[in-house]
Amino acid sequence: QSYGIRSIASGDVSLTSVGTITTNGVLAAGIYGTSNTGNATVNSTGDVTVVGDVARALGATAAGDGDATVISQGNLSTDGDAAFGISAIVTGTGIASVNSQGNVTTQGDASFGIIATTGGGGEARVNTVGNIQTVGINSDGIVASSGDGFVEVISDGDITTDGLNAEGILAYVSNTSPS
């Protein structure tokens, strides 16, 4: 495991980077913030390159009712299976949001360009301007999901996927209860 910047806290986590970050190794991350009880925010203006399986270029995870927010202006690249360009994950009912202006490129099976997901009644929001390219089986460009809440994806850039079962945009609410 190697990290450019990483923080795990019980309260709010806020990480900001303006430089270029390169990391290598299984479970590597460019910038990753985790909050066990509050909000997690990652803001990056530089380019991030990550090589390794189960890696993240940029990521924020919040538990409970906290929000996970990732704001990216640089170009992001991952090379490895199950590696994500950007991940915003909420385990409870908070908001998972991604705002990306740069290009995102992933290479490897089950490697997503951007994923924003929340459990319960939380919201998942993705707004991207840059291009997204994925190469690999089950490697979606954008995944946005909520257990029982609102899902929104706005993409102004090109999305290119090259691999079996690779979706450009996959957005869904997973609640199967009758309305």
Residue 18's φ and ψ, nearest 5 degrees, are -115, -5
Mean pLDDT of the region 151-174: 96
pLDDT tens digits, 101-153: 999 999 999 999 999 999 878 999 999 999 999 999 999 999 999 998 999 99
> What is the predicted pLDDT for the residue at 8?
94
pLDDT tens digits, 19-62: 999 999 999 999 999 999 999 999 999 999 999 999 999 999 99
Could you tell me the pTM of the whole model?
Answer: 0.94
CA gap 23, 2 in Å, rounded: 6
At residue 175 the predicted structure's pLDDT band, cuts being 50, 70 and 90, is confident
